[in-house]
Amino acid sequence: MEARFFRAALLAGIVMVSAGASYRTPNFIIQTASPQFAEQAGKAAEQYRHDLAIEWVGETMPDWAQPCVCTIQAGPNLSAGGATTFMFDRGEVFGWRMTIQGSEQRLLDSVLPHEITHTIFASHFRRPLPRWADEGGATTMEDISEKNKHHVMLLEFLRSNRGIAFNQMFAMTEYPRDVMPLYAQGYSLSEFLIEQFGRKEFIAYLTDGMRTNNWSASTAQHFGIADLGALQNTWLAWVAQGSPPLKLRNQLQPEKGPSTTAVAGGKLPRPEPNLIYHMAPRSQSSASPLGASAAALAPTPASASDGGWHEPGQPAVAATVTPTAQPIPPPIRTETGHPQATQGPSQTVIEWGQH
């Protein structure tokens, strides 16, 4: 959806609900047409804010200085999505504003927890997160029906050479033009890591990675996986199996001999790092839990210096990230989310603009 059209749609939505009901909680001002749903959404938002903060960072958040104004358009035929804005200024985050839409069920079980997870991340880190982690982590909070859509899209993106090599994905400071692969892949990788190591370890991983910008070292430290190339290949092998449930590891064990990662029903061999995964043609398919082929994601070795996805006949990009000096956050940034109306699942795309 074009940004101009989206802004007009948001303005129209605000006007439509401005004459409706308003429900105030300590951290939210809910504005929507129905007084009953305004109260329901307000109570749900506060509960999510409390529960998800504990789940992600281990403690509740203090009340914001000013409540988040949340404008809601609810309707059975509305696609789920939303826009969230806030600002960073010298370690402070403020100016919360949320505009969301969808059916009442999707608003309560997917859109609100997704958007509130963004606010928890912002309140905890006080700086922008890597795009894949911010969206991926938030998507893990959605209803299973929405998450399954991302699984289906992911397989299609990987088979059609729209996957993003991890060295590129981890270095992204802006959203790519082809944004949906980032959503699907970021969600899948977040799920892969969180299921095995838990949300708090995921947060610790992001903290270290953003502090040092050495994601390979942080990957080895927190997950016992050698580097980003090994993480990419291990994750791809899991996706090729149909993304089966993973068991939570209580602690990392020293690796002996060929490295492995636990997968429900047995052990999944971890491919050696720096392999290129060529996606099979769309016609090759087999049964999978999501109704799409995962078996088509067969690995093909390449030279040890290559890594990631690339167009046939083009050089691959090495799946490594070079350490750099600790980045200094800009003084003020604003986060804005836009729903992708042409896509099925609920999501928020975040753009950063200097003020």
pLDDT band at 250 (very low <50, low <70, confident <90, very high): low
- Quote the pLDDT of residue 5: 42
Based on the structure, what is the number of domains in the chain? Answer: 2
Query: Are residues 225 and 336 located together in one domain of the fold?
Result: no
State which of 221-235, 260-274, 300-314 shows the largest mean pLDDT.
221-235
CA dist., res. 202 & res. 197, Å (int): 7
Calculate mean pLDDT across residues 103-111: 97
Q: With CA atoms as reference, report the closest residue to 201 among 247, 250, 246.
A: 250
Looking at the fold, whether 71 and 104 belong to one and the same domain comes out as: yes
pLDDT over 90 (residue 137) = yes
Mean pLDDT, rounded, of the chain: 74
The verdict on 156 and 260 lying in the same domain is yes
- Are 161 and 89 within one domain? no
d(C-alpha 312, C-alpha 46), whole Å: 50
263 pLDDT higher than 50: no
Tokens of 69: 């104004």
Domain range for 342 is: 3-128+329-354
To the nearest 5 percent, what fractions of the chain are helix, strand and coil? 40, 15, 40
Instruction: Give the per-residue pLDDT at 286.
Output: 33
Dihedral sign, CA of 217, 151, 162, 275?
positive
**Residue 337 is encoded by which pair of tokens?**
């989310």
For residues 104 and 32, membership in a common domain is answered with: yes
Residues 143, 92, single domain; the answer is no
pTM of the model: 0.70
- Looking at the fold, whether 94 and 186 belong to one and the same domain comes out as no
CA 17 – CA 25 distance, rounded (Å): 18
Residue 311 buriedness (CB in 10 A; 0-12 / 13-18 / 19+): exposed
Residue 273: count of CB within 10 angstroms of its CB: 21
Give CA angle at 94 (88, 100), nearest 5°.
105
Same domain, yes or no: 299 and 192: yes
Handedness of CA 153, 140, 336, 48 (dihedral sign): positive
Query: Which positions ≥6 away from 201 have C-beta within 8 Å?
Result: 193, 222
Q: Are residues 293 and 336 in the same domain?
A: no
Pairing, β 92-102 against β 68-74: parallel
User: Across-strand partners of 86?
Assistant: 335
31-61 pLDDT tens trace: 999 999 999 999 999 999 999 999 999 999 9
Residue 131 — φ and ψ, nearest 5°?
-55, -45
| 131 touches 172 (CB < 8 A) | yes
State the pLDDT at residue 206: 98
Write the DSSP string, 170-236.
HH-SS--SS-HHHHHHHHHHHHHHHHHH-HHHHHHHHHHHHHH--HHHHHHHHH---SHHHHHHHHH
Co-location of 69 and 57 in the same domain? yes
pLDDT digits (tens, 9 = 90+) for 281-331: 333 333 333 233 334 454 333 322 233 333 333 333 333 222 323 333 333
CA distance 317 to 333: 31
Same domain, yes or no: 67 and 192: no
On whether both 111 and 150 belong to a single domain, the answer is: no
Are the C-beta atoms of residues 190 and 136 closer than 8 Å to each other? Answer: yes
